[in-house]
């Protein structure tokens, strides 16, 4: 890096450990929308996958979200699937492909991705990292080195995330 250009501070990262068949994650969408509206690109909201065994379509949904991300529509896809958790419960993979089609994504590529498992390693790696840092349920947030568990209660979590984000943006240490 040259001395002539000032270093642009990197945006703080809010990692959201999420599971697309989880009603609590659907509830968390309002907080995520509010955070994205408040901070825009000053806060990087990063989706991390933590599919739970009790939800039989959650692993496929995580892979589908990765395919949506690859096709440039990650968050719209995540929001569309979470908004219809009960339908995912009932219909499984065909529903995931249908949502892709509704959003104008390449649905055939989604179908192929779910069959060939091209995103499995990303989902496995997220899940392993989540377990390693103590994630036990979804949603769980990590920002500034602090883990906030939204699976038990989401009460006050957005305020806590904003507090940490504001401190990080002001240059304060975590």
pLDDT greater at residue 155 or residue 50: 50
Is the pLDDT at 6 greater than 70? The verdict is no
Residue 151 pLDDT class (50, 70, 90 cuts): confident
Is the pLDDT at 10 greater than 90? The verdict is no
Q: Residue 172's pLDDT is what?
A: 63
Does the N-terminal peptide bond of residue 76 adopt cis geometry, omega within 30 degrees of 0?
no
Identify which of 131, 122, 174, 155 has the alpha carbon closest to the alpha carbon of residue 14: 174
User: Is 132 in contact with 17 (CB distance < 8 Å)?
Assistant: no
Residue 118 pLDDT class (50, 70, 90 cuts): very high
Is the pLDDT at 38 greater than 60? The verdict is yes
CA-CA-CA-CA torsion for 132, 135, 137, 142, nearest 10 degrees?
Answer: -140
Is the pLDDT at 51 greater than 80? The verdict is yes
Q: Residue 142's pLDDT is what?
A: 96
Centre a 10 Å sphere on the Cβ of residue 124 and count the other Cβ atoms it contains. Answer: 14
Average pLDDT of 82-101? Answer: 95
Is the pLDDT at 83 greater than 70? The verdict is yes
Query: Mean pLDDT across the chain, nearest whole number?
Result: 91
Q: For residue range 22-36, list pLDDT tens digits in order.
A: 999 998 998 999 999
User: Is 114 in contact with 93 (CB distance < 8 Å)?
Assistant: yes
pTM of the entire predicted model? 0.88
């Amino acid at each position: 890096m040259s001395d002539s250009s000032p270093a642009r501070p990197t945006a703080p990262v809010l990692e959201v450990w999420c599971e697309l068949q989880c009603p609590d994650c659907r509830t968390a969408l309002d907080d995520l929308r509010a955070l994205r509206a408040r901070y825009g690109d000053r806060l990087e909201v990063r989706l991390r996958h933590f599919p739970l065994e009790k939800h039989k379509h959650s692993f496929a949904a995580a892979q589908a979200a990765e395919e949506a991300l690859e096709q440039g529509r990650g968050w719209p896809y995540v929001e569309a699937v979470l908004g219809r958790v009960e339908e995912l419960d009932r219909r499984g993979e065909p529903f995931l492909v249908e949502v892709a089609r509704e959003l104008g994504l390449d649905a055939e590529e989604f179908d192929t991705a779910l069959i060939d498992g091209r995103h499995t390693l990303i989902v496995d790696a997220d899940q392993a990292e989540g377990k390693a840092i103590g994630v036990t349920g979804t949603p769980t947030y990590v920002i500034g080195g602090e883990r906030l568990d939204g699976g038990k209660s989401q009460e006050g979590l957005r305020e806590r995330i904003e507090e940490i984000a504001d401190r990080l943006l002001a240059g304060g240490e975590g």
